[in-house]
Each structure stands twice: as structure tokens, then as C-alpha cells.
Amino acid sequence: MRTPALVPRLRPFTSTIFAEMTALATRTGAVNLGQGFPDTDGPAEMLATAQRAIADGINQYPPGPGRPELRQAIAEHRRRYGTEYDPDTQVLVTVGATEAIAASLLALVEPGDEVVLIEPYYDSYAASVALAGATRTVVSLVEDGDRFALDVDALRAAVTPRTKALLLNSPHNPSGTVFTRQEMEEVARICQEHDLIAITDEVYEHLIFDGREHVTLSALPGMADRTLAISSSGKTFNSTGWKIGWVCGPAELVGAVRAAKQFLTFVGGAPFQPAVAYALRNEMAWVDQLRDDLQRKRDRLSAGLSDAGFGVRQAAGTYFVCADVRPLGFADGAELCRQLPERIGVAGVPVQVFTDHPDQWQHLVRFAFCKRDDVIDEAIARLRKLG
């Protein structure tokens, strides 16, 4: 039997490490700091709104672009960045940000086109580029002290006449870095000089620490007409299982994304859409508290990792902190992650699985701090046994 053509195209981008770590954590009873989702729910009234929507019969297909009240709430929400979107033509509701990214690439790039990714990158990016038949070009972040910085010169050098799009994630998973305004302005300059489409993954837009700002590329001069800004409710409102995402941008680009999206999932999450609309309009104070709580959890886990002997990198946002395993005498984060569940009962994820150049990143392990304090404390106690 012939192997379907799509399988070898995707195989290089489908890491088994998550399944492997989850299975090990389950079998050994390990504290799982590898999984990037919270263990508490979102705002109570948001949950109640979803329950009422189900009870009121909002259980059938919603409109293709998303329910009107959610599209309007998304447009209102994006005004905080100084951007204006027509909810009828410039906002599209998707099944999470992952679908928004995949549909954007399927709609806008073709075989022979190149897409620039910043590594380490969220694992769906490379797969989505492959599904579109395009070629990815990778630019590595650079370690600048305890921060991961954007190498603007390398980014500029990576652009060729075949480059069609740049996919940018800030706040950044898995590194936890947040790109500065100066870095984003340089990205905007490169996009305009080379007529690139920018696709921005902003799902952690509200989970930024220490008073830093979220700079959305779409709000910078000259970028509104060439940027698709993507976000979701999952990280903002602790509702990752609802899979309610969105993409905002110029009508022509959003229309193309909608054309691709309708043949992927068609629509989704009907009763959750009114609840997310409610939350965007009424629960941002809850989100501020979530951010402050996560900053405290970041500090808690970072201090514990440092005490255990890891070299801890700065986490300016997201759910994640990266730790250097070399001070503990290890050279390979993947090998350590395979040992951790049985050795001390903790699970993490090696950063090298998110890259095209694993040798450059094999000293780092990603740990998630979006967990209850008692879970973090237990993980820290176990990690101290490594020393």
C-alpha cells in the first residue's frame, strides 16, 4: 500500500515528545509542568453565560464568520491598541488560534513561497507551512544575557524574493520573551521593504509581566493593511478547551482566510461564543488579576529552579520559563526530560523539539507555571533532588 503523500510531508514536524512525556507523567505519577494549560477555570460569570447559552438553545451552527456579538466584542477589544476593525468584514472567529494560523497560511501562501518563522516556534507552525505546500525559513532567537532577543540582521538576511509571509509570536512560546517596541518596529520595516504579509500570534497578549507592554504589529505605521492579528480566549480567560479564536485584518485578507477556514472546521463553539463576548467586555479586571497571579507563580517557579541549580532565563510573559540544564551537569535537555518522570517525578519539555537546529537549543528545558501553588511547590521539592 502506498503511503499517502501528506504523511511524509508532516512527519518531520510531528514530535512525539508531548505524548511521550504525558504517558511517562501518567505512568509515574509525575508532576506535569510540560503541559501548557492552567488547572483552574475562568471567570464564573463567563462560565454561567455559556451554560445559559446551552440551556437557551444556542447549540446549532453559528454564522460562518462567528456570532455577531462576539465579532463586535473582538473589534471593540482591539481598539485598546489603536486599531479599528469592521466586525462584519475584518473579524473572523475560528476554532482556536491554531486554526486561524493554519487557515491564514493555506489561504495566502502557495507552493514555491517561503514563510519566515522565528525559532523556537510553536509546533503547529511548521506543520501549517507544510500543509500549504510552502517552504519555511527559520531565524533563531539569540540569548542576550538572560533574555531571548530577536536577531534583526538575521531576519533581514532570511528574506528572499520568494518570501511571502512572516509568522511572528509575541509574547513568545516557548521562550517566554516579549519583543520590544524597537524590535517590532524593525520587523515592520522589513515587512514593508519586502512587501510581506505578517501573521501575528498574540494569544498571550494579556499575560505580560513587570509592566511591559504588548506591541501589536498591526498598530505600527504602514502595517494595518498587511497584518493578520490572531488571538483567542483560551489563554486570556483560562478556557483552552473551548477553542474560540479569531483573526483580525484587512477585509481582503480576512475574506481569503474565511474561504480556507470554511473547509477546515466550517464553524465551532456556538454556545461559547456569547460567553467570550461577555468576557471581553466585562472581565478584563479578572484578566489583570490573572496576570498578576501568573507573575507571582513565575517568580515562585523561577526561584525554585534556581535553588535547584538550573540556570533560569527571564520569562517576560506567557506560561513558561526556560531553564539551562548545564549547571547541573547535563548536556541534553531531551535526555534529561526522559529521565525526570521516573527519576524524581517531574515532567518538562525540551526546547530543542521546537526548533530546526536542536543542537543550539539542547541545553534548555521549558517548564509551565500556570499551575496551582501546591503543584509548583511539589515540583520544586522534587527538582531539588537533582542537585
| Rg for the chain, CA atoms, rounded | 20
Cell numbers 496576570: residue: 291
Element (H, E) at 109: none
pLDDT band at 349 (very low <50, low <70, confident <90, very high): very high
Instruction: Say which CATH architecture domain 44-282 belongs to.
Output: 3-Layer(aba) Sandwich (3.40)
Cell numbers 508532516: residue: 10
At residue 79, the pLDDT reads 98
At residue 9, the pLDDT reads 59
At residue 28, the pLDDT reads 83
Q: What is the pLDDT of residues 13-62, one digit of tens each?
A: 545 666 777 787 788 888 999 989 999 999 999 999 999 999 999 999 99
pLDDT band at 4 (very low <50, low <70, confident <90, very high): low
Residue 237 CB coordination number (10 Å): 25
DSSP 242: G
Compute the mean pLDDT over every residue in the chain, rounded to the nearest whole number: 95
Q: In angstroms, rounded to a whole number, what is the distance separating the alpha carbons of residues 221 and 125?
A: 26
Q: Cell numbers for 16, please give them.
A: 512525539
Q: What is the pLDDT of residues 133-189, one digit of tens each?
A: 999 999 999 999 889 999 999 999 999 999 999 999 999 999 999 999 999 999 999
pLDDT band at 377 (very low <50, low <70, confident <90, very high): very high
Q: What is the pLDDT of residues 112-135, one digit of tens each?
A: 999 999 999 999 999 999 999 999
Q: What is the pLDDT of residues 76-107, one digit of tens each?
A: 999 999 999 999 999 999 999 999 999 999 99
CA angle 328–333–335, rounded 5-degree value: 100
Q: In angstroms, rounded to a whole number, what is the distance separating the alpha carbons of residues 6 and 237?
A: 35
Element (H, E) at 213: none
DSSP 200: E
Burial of 124 (0-12, 13-18, 19+ CB in 10 A): middle
At residue 193, the pLDDT reads 98
At residue 6, the pLDDT reads 56
Question: Does the structure show a pLDDT above 70 at 5?
Answer: no
At residue 22, the pLDDT reads 75
Any idea which of 18-22, 288-292, 345-349 has the lowest mean pLDDT? 18-22
CATH 3.90.1150.10 residue ranges for the chain: 8-42+284-384
Question: Does the structure show a pLDDT above 70 at 235?
Answer: yes
Residue 22 CB coordination number (10 Å): 16
Kindly write down the DSSP assignment for every residue of 337-376, as one continuous string. Answer: HHHHHHHTSEE-EEGGGG-S-HHHHTTEEEEE--S-HHHH
Please say whether the beta carbons of 222 and 188 come within 8 A.
yes
Question: What is this structure's pTM?
Answer: 0.96
At residue 12, the pLDDT reads 57
Taking domain 8-42+284-384, whether its CATH number is 3.90.1150.10 is answered by yes
Q: What is the pLDDT of residues 238-281, one digit of tens each?
A: 999 999 999 999 999 999 999 999 999 999 999 999 999 999 99
Q: What is the pLDDT of residues 299-321, one digit of tens each?
A: 999 999 999 999 999 999 999 99
Please say whether the beta carbons of 189 and 157 come within 8 A.
no
> Phi and psi (nearest 5°) for 328?
-90, 0
Question: Does the structure show a pLDDT above 50 at 338?
Answer: yes
What residues contact 224, with CB distance under 8 A and at least 6 apart?
A: 83, 218, 250
pLDDT band at 1 (very low <50, low <70, confident <90, very high): very low
Question: Does the structure show a pLDDT above 60 at 11?
Answer: no
- Cis bond upstream, residue 111 (ω within 30): no
Q: Cell numbers for 330, please give them.
A: 547535563
CATH 3.40.640.10 residue ranges for the chain: 44-282
